[in-house]
């Protein structure tokens, strides 16, 4: 990591490749960007930081021509002032976007995806030619990928490599990555970083968007921080400490909220016990979680972490073993049984599994709470409103209005509503699957505080997370899952590090 030394080697002195000046964009009267200046140099990785809603995505969409700015100018060093009126124009100018929701067509093969949109109409697609060209690009980036493999058969990491190749196939000189690591394993992430460094060495200009500070520290040369549609800081990475960046992003001091001491171990009565539990995906899981305890589940995606939660919540049928909740054996054949026993699951895919975007906060809160707030099928609106209002206040849900449509809330606030719903059911066991995925740093701190308070009130928490710092911050004990088995359950002592956990996940390493 180069620090801010004279004669910078990170390309700061070079003239910019792309310049955006005074970019303004309003959606329905709300100004998402209020005059943003942004410049990008070839051979640099430029991290774009900011909370959700700060304007990062809008800025990238403007750069890629998906939306048009209301005001402001864009210039490219090799063309001059440009108007980017669509993705096709952006691609032609050498600007590529590797988006968060990977934009590949699963039904087409690798080469077809790389060259999609380059031929039109009734022309015969020069398939062999495209395959050869794709091969040449893949040889550099991902030699293990075959050009004729259908994309639906590829994993996330490989799909990402195909997207990068697609940009390169158009002679891409500027490549933006929008949260590229959110679904990668640590190994895949390192592989991606190697690719990004290659691209950088080849003189490409890279924009990198991520919420994960340790990634930014590892890969970025320069940073630009957006807050509420304005640039609040821009400069070499080395000029900013991590806590300074967090402060800039959130606009307030977070260090105390974020970095509370590692939790002290608790001795308490077991609330949740798994005794040699097996399902089709996991085998012989033994785990006990006490009142007031937070246990983390660590491991790679697909290792069986989430499958353990699904077993407890009655989604995956338990083929062997017992699950005991509060001393009584629970035979949950479906989630409704688990709920009745006081188990709550806060799923990873909030949009898909936990909420209804077009219903308002109160209605979303009421989902699954019909028993409590209903009488003979009629919803007791008054009681429900009073309940959600108290949660909104207590959990600092923003905006503090119960009739806001759920889709207009940020990820962090949506998550709070989901948690509030479970609190109202009186659940004692909380299962969290990636509780802070896609949630910005300010809201993250609040979610952490919330989890700690749940535990302090005597609930038993199981947290699945890919973010090891998160587990080390929150959990009393951490269980490492791989291949559908619990490899190890370790107390989260001061000596436990991310490296240990990664080694355990890979099936080796001792404390």
Partner 1 sequence: MSDLKTLSRPGTADQKVRAAARSGELIQKASVAIGCVALFLVFSLLTKTFYQPSNLIDIMLQSSINAVIAVGMTLVIMTKGIDLSVGSIVGLSSMVAAHLLAQGLLVGIGAALVVGLVCGAINGILIAKLKLPDFIVTLGTLSVYRGAALIYTDGQPIYGLSKEFRAIFAGHVLDVPTPVILALVVAALAFLLVRFTALGEQIIAVGGNEEAAKLSGVNIERVKITVYMVSGILSSLAGFVLIARIGAAEPIGGSGFELQAIGSAVIGGASLFGGIGNPLGSLIGALTLGGLQNGLTLMNIPSFWQYVASGVVVILAVFADQWTRKPR
Closest to 32 measured CA to CA, from 67, 64, 65, 74? 67
Distance CA 410, CA 447 (A): 13
CA 221 to chain centroid, in Å, comes to 22
What is the contact mask toward partner 1 in residues 46 to 85, using x (rule: CB under 8 A)?
------------------x-x-------------------
- Smallest distance from the beta carbon of 359 to partner 1, in angstroms? 21
Candidate segments 189-197, 346-354, 419-427, 468-476, binder of partner 1 by CB under 8 A: 189-197
Among the listed residues 4, 187, 401, 511, the single contact to partner 1 using CB under 8 A: 187
Nearer to partner 1 by C-beta: 93 or 330? 93
Is 301 in a helix, a strand, or coil? coil
- Smallest distance from the beta carbon of 45 to partner 1, in angstroms? 17
What is the contact mask toward partner 1 in residues 477 to 506, using x (rule: CB under 8 A)?
------------------------------
Candidate segments 13-21, 87-95, 247-255, 354-362, binder of partner 1 by CB under 8 A: 87-95
Distance CA 428, CA 490 (A): 23
Cβ neighbours around 334 below 10 Å, total: 11
Question: What is the DSSP code (8-state) at residue 492?
Answer: -
- Smallest distance from the beta carbon of 483 to partner 1, in angstroms? 12
H-state helical runs in 395-508: 411-425, 441-456, 468-474, 498-505
Nearer to partner 1 by C-beta: 150 or 234? 150
Cβ neighbours around 78 below 10 Å, total: 9
Closest to 195 measured CA to CA, from 217, 163, 223, 170? 163
- What are phi and psi for residue 506, nearest 5 degrees? -80, 0
Nearer to partner 1 by C-beta: 145 or 219? 145
Q: Evaluate whether 263 touches 474 at the Cβ level (below 8 Å).
A: yes
- Longest Cα–Cα distance of the chain, Å, equals 75
What is the contact mask toward partner 1 in residues 143 to 172, using x (rule: CB under 8 A)?
xxx---xx-xxxx--x--x----x------
Distance CA 505, CA 510 (A): 11
Nearer to partner 1 by C-beta: 265 or 357? 357
Beta 285-290 vs 294-298: how paired, if at all?
unpaired
How far from 64 is each of 33, 207, 357, 399, 406, CA to CA, in Å?
16, 12, 27, 31, 28
Candidate segments 86-94, 178-186, 222-230, 341-349, binder of partner 1 by CB under 8 A: 86-94
What is the contact mask toward partner 1 in residues 14 to 53, using x (rule: CB under 8 A)?
----------------------------------------
H-state helical runs in 205-334: 213-219, 242-250, 255-258, 305-312
Closest to 394 measured CA to CA, from 457, 482, 461? 457
Query: Which residues from 252-311 bind partner 1, rule CB under 8 A?
Result: none
- Smallest distance from the beta carbon of 143 to partner 1, in angstroms? 5
Sequential DSSP letters for 156-193: HHHHHHHHHHHHHHTT-SEEEEESTTTT--HHHHHHHH
Nearer to partner 1 by C-beta: 29 or 121? 121
What is the contact mask toward partner 1 in residues 94 to 133, using x (rule: CB under 8 A)?
---x-x-xxxxxxxx---xx--xxxxxxxxxx-x------
Among the listed residues 73, 190, 255, 493, the single contact to partner 1 using CB under 8 A: 190
Nearer to partner 1 by C-beta: 280 or 497? 280
Nearer to partner 1 by C-beta: 194 or 401? 194
Sheet of 80-82, strand order: 30-40, 18-27, 71-76, 80-82
Query: Which residues from 197-216 bind partner 1, rule CB under 8 A?
Result: 198
Q: Does 195 bind partner 1 (CB under 8 A)?
A: yes
- Smallest distance from the beta carbon of 496 to partner 1, in angstroms? 28
- Smallest distance from the beta carbon of 42 to partner 1, in angstroms? 18
Nearer to partner 1 by C-beta: 137 or 447? 137
Sheet of 174-178, strand order: 95-98, 174-178, 205-209, 45-49, 222-227, 230-236
How many residues belong to the site for partner 1 (CB under 8 A)?
51
Chain residues binding partner 1 by CB under 8 A are: 64, 66, 86-88, 91-92, 97, 99, 101-108, 112-113, 116-125, 127, 140-145, 149-150, 152-155, 158, 161, 166, 187, 190-191, 194-195, 198
């Amino acid at each position: 990591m180069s620090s801010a030394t004279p004669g910078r080697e990170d390309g700061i002195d070079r003239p910019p490749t792309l310049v955006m000046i005074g970019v303004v964009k309003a959606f329905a009267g709300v100004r998402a960007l209020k005059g943003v200046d942004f410049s990008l140099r070839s051979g640099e990785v430029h991290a774009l930081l900011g909370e959700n809603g700060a304007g990062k995505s809008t800025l990238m969409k403007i750069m890629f021509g998906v939306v048009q700015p209301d005001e402001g100018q864009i210039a490219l060093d090799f063309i001059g002032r440009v108007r980017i009126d669509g993705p096709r124009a952006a691609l032609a100018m050498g600007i590529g976007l590797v988006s968060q929701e990977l934009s590949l067509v699963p039904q087409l093969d690798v080469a077809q995806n790389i060259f999609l949109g380059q031929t039109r109409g009734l022309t015969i697609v020069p398939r062999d030619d495209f395959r050869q060209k794709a091969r040449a690009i893949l040889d550099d980036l991902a030699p293990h990928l075959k050009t004729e493999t259908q994309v639906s058969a590829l994993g996330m990491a490989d799909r990402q490599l195909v997207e990068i190749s697609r940009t390169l196939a158009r002679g891409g000189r500027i490549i933006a990555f929008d949260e590229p690591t959110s679904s990668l394993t640590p190994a895949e992430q390192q592989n991606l970083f190697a690719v990004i460094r290659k691209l950088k060495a080849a003189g490409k200009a890279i924009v990198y968007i991520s919420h994960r500070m340790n990634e930014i520290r590892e890969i970025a040369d320069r940073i630009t921080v957006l807050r509420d549609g304005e640039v609040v800081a821009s400069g070499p990475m080395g000029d900013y400490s991590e806590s300074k960046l967090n402060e800039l992003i959130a606009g307030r001091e977070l260090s105390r909220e974020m970095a509370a001491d590692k939790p002290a171990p608790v001795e308490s009565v077991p609330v949740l016990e798994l005794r040699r539990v097996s399902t089709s995906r996991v085998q012989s899981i033994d785990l006990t979680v006490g009142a007031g305890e937070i246990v983390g589940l660590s491991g790679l995606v697909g290792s069986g972490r989430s499958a353990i939660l699904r077993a407890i919540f009655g989604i995956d049928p338990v083929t062997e073993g017992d699950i005991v909740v509060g001393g009584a054996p629970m035979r949950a054949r479906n989630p409704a049984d688990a709920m009745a026993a006081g188990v709550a699951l806060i799923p990873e895919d909030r949009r898909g599994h936990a909420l209804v975007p077009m219903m308002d906060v109160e209605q979303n809160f009421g989902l699954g709470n019909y028993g409590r707030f209903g009488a003979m099928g009629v919803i007791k609106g008054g009681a429900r409103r009073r309940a959600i209002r108290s949660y909104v206040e207590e959990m600092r849900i923003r905006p503090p209005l119960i009739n806001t449509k759920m889709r207009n809330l940020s990820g962090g606030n949506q998550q709070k509503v989901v948690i509030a719903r479970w609190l109202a059911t009186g659940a004692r066991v909380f299962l969290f699957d990636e509780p802070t995925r896609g949630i910005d740093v300010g809201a993250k701190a609040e979610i952490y505080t919330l989890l700690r308070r749940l535990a302090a009130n005597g609930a038993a928490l199981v947290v699945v997370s890919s973010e090891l710092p998160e587990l080390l911050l929150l959990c009393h004990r951490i269980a490492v899952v791989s291949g559908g088995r619990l490899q190890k359950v370790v107390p989260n002592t001061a000596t436990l590090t991310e490296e240990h956990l990664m080694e355990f996940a890979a099936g080796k390493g001792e404390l």
